[in-house]
Structure 1
Amino acid sequence: MLRAFLRSAAARARSRSPRPAPDDDVLLDAPDDRLAPALVAAARGEHGPAAGLLSGTRENAEWDHRDRYTTRLAAFARSRSEWLDTWRATDPDDPDAQLVAARLTVDRHWYSPARTELLRQVIPSVVAAAEAAGPVDPVPWRTALDAARGARAPHAEFERLWEQAVRRSPHHYGSHVAALEYLADASPVAHGECLDFAETAAQDAPEDALLRALPLRAAFTCLTATGASADGASVRTYRPRLDDAADRATALSAAHPVADPWAAELRNLLVYVLVRLERHREAAEQLRLTGPYVTSFPWERDAADPDPLGRFLQVRADVRAHLETGSH
């Protein structure tokens, strides 16, 4: 991880050229300039920079950043938790420490064969932490929504948590993703309902909000549903809406700088959807814009190849091959 941090700045500078990054320069889940120092400090057992980072996102109401940074810090704590343990022991009432701890708890149970039962057991404590976080922060409620989804909570219970999240921030991307995935899990063939939900949320969001990309996430859900394929009947039915979702996300991508780590997940997901829709020339442009930054999502969701970096490189090679043969 430390080597990736050191390579990140040089790779970022090189990627501002229109030439694609070589395979050796590609970075998987590289942190941005705000998160990297917090992770480096956590590797040394120090929690101060992480505390400062999350405190700043809370005070400035940067909910999408707060959500993503919390997820990344919790992921780091899964293997190296000393810094978080010290933080919680030093200041057990710190809402940011409680937020990371709640996210870590949900993540640890998520991949367990007993996930449903384990998450049912922790929902009360996760909800209690969210209630203690105050009246403005939606991110603890996003964590509660994920726990409820994993626990297969009844619709009424999930809706109660959803109301708490959107009351705090009606345009928080993470809460909407949790609701979209809950809807998709409840009815795997409910593509129309998922697209309706995502399009309505995106339409009401500010122009530069990450929530504008929610239809792209719904398109991904449609394309990866069991039995779905780019030329399948269900996809053909919704093809105009899938194309529109990709167009919306392309416009949002254009608002970010080239080789921007923050926009990397959006652009990786957009590449995935564009390739599945056989829009290879536009996928190539997004590959150029993303530079060396590869994100585990969506590539880790490909059951045929659980190696996200390898899958990305293969898709990138396939896009180049399409362009060389004159395909669109």
Structure 2
Amino acid sequence: MYRNFSIVPKIMFGRGAFNQIADILNERRIGEGAYMVFVIDDVFTDAPLEARLPLENGDMLLRVNVEDEPKTKYIDELVEKIRAFNPKKPVGVIGIGGGSAMDIAKAVSLMLNNPGSSADYQGWDLIKNPAVYHMAIPTLAGTGAEISRTAILTGPEKKLGINSDYTLFDQIVLDPELLVGVPKDQWFYTGMDCYIHDVESLQGTFINEFSRAYGEKSLELCREVFLGEHEDKDDKLMMASYFGGMSIAYSQVGACHALSYGLSYVLGIHHGIGCCITFDYLEDIYPEGVAEFRRMMEKHDITLPRNLTKNMSEGDLEKMVTTALGLVPLWENCLGPDWRNIMTRERTLELYKRM
């Protein structure tokens, strides 16, 4: 009746926490030839952050490209690259970057211990073997990837996460100093992913006091960050992301995330901006949330892309509809057990055409 909920067991938070990563990893460097794989967004190539990584002899620096959202084929290629680097498994995989980089680290750590392709595990609780020890160091805040049991991947047939308790990180290090210098648009879109998590969780049919407690605090922090003026806004946003991820862990997201998956799968639109584009058309479902979201956009001078689907073929539009409606738990949370009679293919198609 109730899911036995798992959570990231070790969490470090605070400015300068990045400086303690070496101490944490040294506890794992046991045995001859023990090595780490540092999975880092290639935007940091030769940047000061990369130079601060506690690399030791034998460690692998794996720069990953996230211009496109992670694909199962890319995960499989990265796993083979690690095996070619060293036939022995690493004792740890460390993901440094935004949501996509963290999801790549999750997926790679899983696939080092599970046979086949990562596409075989897109779904719920399909992973059989625990992952290699893996740590997250977010440099963006909002996705909740650092705390979620999902590694979101685009496969040959669908966009769907590897959802498993084994996906959860063993350790996360939350250092607000790492958010300094993030471009405004990226900061906003990623932060809005968190805000939308909260709205969808709190207004969903799966809501319970566990999720409500985290969601309400996350929503409060998002309002302080995006509607107020606070010197410690980066600290607040990192905690909002954490609490927002927890709010959906025992409930679910909703219509916005389901529809954004369709945009991403067919058009390759990144998750954060995809959620913002989609949410702006959902005033019928989330009227108060959309109104507040628009105030946040106005305050930060954000303009969303329009007419994305104007020249799309009917076949591609139908593919988007199929992708979105295939996310059954999200729609059940949003609209209840009768959701299929409410969010019909025709209504979903009309929403996409408006975008």
Per the normalisation by structure 2, the TM-score is 0.33
Per the normalisation by structure 1, the TM-score is 0.35
